[in-house]
A and B are shown apart, each in its own frame.
Chain A
C-alpha cells in the first residue's frame, strides 16, 4: 500500500463574495522511499497541496490517507499528533526557535511526543551528528550559517523517525553551493530509506528528485518519474 493516497482533493477558500479554488481535484500516490518534487508557479496550489500533505491544513473535499491513517477529517489536535509522528518539516526560512540552541530545537518534537529527558537528548544528539553538526549542538541559530541552520532543521525533521520529510523550498534562502550541500544531504537520507517530498519552483532543485509532479491552476499537469524518462 502506498504511503500517501490522495483522492480527488479540493481546497476552496471562501473569500466572502467569491470563492477561491486552490485545488480542483488532485489525485496523488506516493510510495515508501520515494524522492519526489512538487513543482509549480506561485498561485498554482502547490503550497496548499503541501500544507494538506503535511497535515497543517485539511482539504475541503476528497480523501487523504497517510501511512494507513485517514487524516482528512481529523481535528486540530489529532493532526498535531500526526505532524509530530509522521511528518518532518524543512522550511525555506528554517523556522528554528531563535532563543534555543541547536540541540533544544531538535529536541522539541520529542518533547511534544512526551519522551523523557535522557532519551530526548540521546536522539537529538544522534540526529545532529547525522547531519554533520555534532560540534554545533550548543550553538544558537544566529551563531550558525544558513546551511548549518538548515541542517539543524533537517535534524529536527528526522528526529522522530517520520514517514515523510516534507521540504518547502529548502534551498530558497541559501546560496547555490550550500543549496547543493543540502540537496546532497536529502539524497543521502533518501538512500537510507527516507521518503522525501520537496516543494520547489526551481528546475535545478527538482532534478535531484526521482519523480516530478507539476501543478498548475490547482490540478496536476504532469507526473514524470526519472527512471521512466531516462
Chain B
C-alpha cells in the first residue's frame, strides 16, 4: 500500500536525499527522535530583497538593460563599452551593499584535507568521491560567501516590482 505523504513531508524527503551527512543532521536535529517522519521548515520566500538587488544592479550597472539587449547585433567594441558600464556599476552596487569573502583560505590549485565534520554547505565534493572522510583533494574553486548584506529599508506600499521606472523628459 502506498503511503500518503503530505506535500511538505515529500519535500523534506527530497531534501534529505539531496543533502548529505552532517548538514541534514543539523537541520533535522529537532525531530531526530522520530527518524521515520523527518520534517524541515520550508521558508516562504519574500522576494523584496531580490527585487531590490535587481533594481540596484540596474540602477548602478544597467544590468537588466544589458542582458535584455541582443548581443549578436553589436560589434565587440560596442559590447565592450557597455560591459564597462555594467562592470563598474555592478561592482559599485555590490561593494556598497554586499561583503564577500572566499570560503577556502587554501588557494585554488593547492591540496586540502576535509575532516569528517566539515561544513557540508561550504564545501562541495566532486570527482572521485568514495570512502570515508577525511577527504583529501585539490581546491578547484575557492568559493564565495556573503558575510554581510545591507539593502535599503523599504517604505510600506513601495512597488518593488518596478526595478527601473520609465523615464519621461518634459
Q: Do A and B come from one complex?
A: no
A residues near B, CB below 8 A? none
B residues near A, CB below 8 A? none
